[in-house]
Amino acid sequence: MNVEIAIIVVLLGLWSWREMTIRAQFRRTRLTDGLTGLGNRRYLKNFLIKEIPRVHRTHQDAVQQGAPAPQQQLAFLLLDIDYFSRINESMGHAAGDEVLREISQLLRRVSREQDIIVRWSGAQFLMVSRDVPFATAEKIAGRLCAEVMTHVFHLKDGQAIDCTASIGLAPYPFYATAPDRLTWEQVVSLAGRCLQAAKTSGRKRWVGLRGDEPPQDAAFALLRNNTQAAIDSGAARMAASTGAEIKW
């Protein structure tokens, strides 16, 4: 009888362990991009649920205490591989997949341990650099562009190709003295606006926006729809790769 009970206990333990393993694999699948192994949008949102309140609280406390705004922010860097569709069209989607996997490895290598990298969509990747001044985020953007440009992508069939990347950059909170003005989703949208400007202005470069003096109202609409006017009015400051002439 004792032997039978012991067998049942062992079997129940194995079943429980198998169930836990399956559930853990399912959770990883739900949070991971199947091609690159990077996190996906759901993974990012789970991370930001805790991270955004922490950063917001730090800046809000400084505002309430009349202290200088903290220099450390979250930096959202949206990277897109230039002319990626040409790789798919001329070399096939398998080659494009290899490039995506290799660039994901490159991003892991050059990022810091505390940074978050997700595959955003298609050939776009989003890096969230934690607790960095905007000047440091600029250097990160420049380094990423340089790393992609100098990297040789080796394909399984023996071919080697070169790629470049464009990056859009925006911090959260966008206005350090008014952390409530823009949500993190709006900040990512502005990073996308900067990425679009980098593409329009010649690619293989980075463009960034950060808040200066928050306008009285409609800050996001102005920044998103008439970026140059927002810069001219002092609602935002632009930064970009050295020597780049930016077209909005």
| Residue 21 binned pLDDT confidence (cut-offs 50, 70, 90) | very low
Query: What pLDDT does residue 18 have?
Result: 53
The overall average pLDDT reported for the chain is: 89
Per the model's pLDDT, the better-predicted residue between 159 and 138 turns out to be: 138
pTM: 0.87
d(CA 59, CA 42): 26
Per the model's pLDDT, the better-predicted residue between 152 and 215 turns out to be: 152
- Is the pLDDT at 122 greater than 50? The verdict is yes
Backbone angles phi, psi at 238, to 5 degrees: -105, 145
List, for residues 137-154, the tens digit of each pLDDT value.
Answer: 999 999 999 999 999 999
List, for residues 46-94, the tens digit of each pLDDT value.
Answer: 999 999 999 999 999 998 898 888 888 999 999 999 999 999 999 999 9
Query: What pLDDT does residue 242 have?
Result: 84
Give the chain's length.
248
Query: What pLDDT does residue 219 have?
Result: 75
Backbone angles phi, psi at 228, to 5 degrees: -65, -40
d(CA 173, CA 227): 18
Q: What average pLDDT score do residues 149-176 get?
A: 94
Query: What pLDDT does residue 175 have?
Result: 93
Per the model's pLDDT, the better-predicted residue between 51 and 213 turns out to be: 51
79, containing H or E segment: strand 73-81
Query: What pLDDT does residue 8 have?
Result: 67
Do β-strands 165-172 and 206-211 pair in parallel, antiparallel, or remain unpaired? parallel
Q: What average pLDDT score do residues 115-122 get?
A: 96
- Is the pLDDT at 109 greater than 80? The verdict is yes
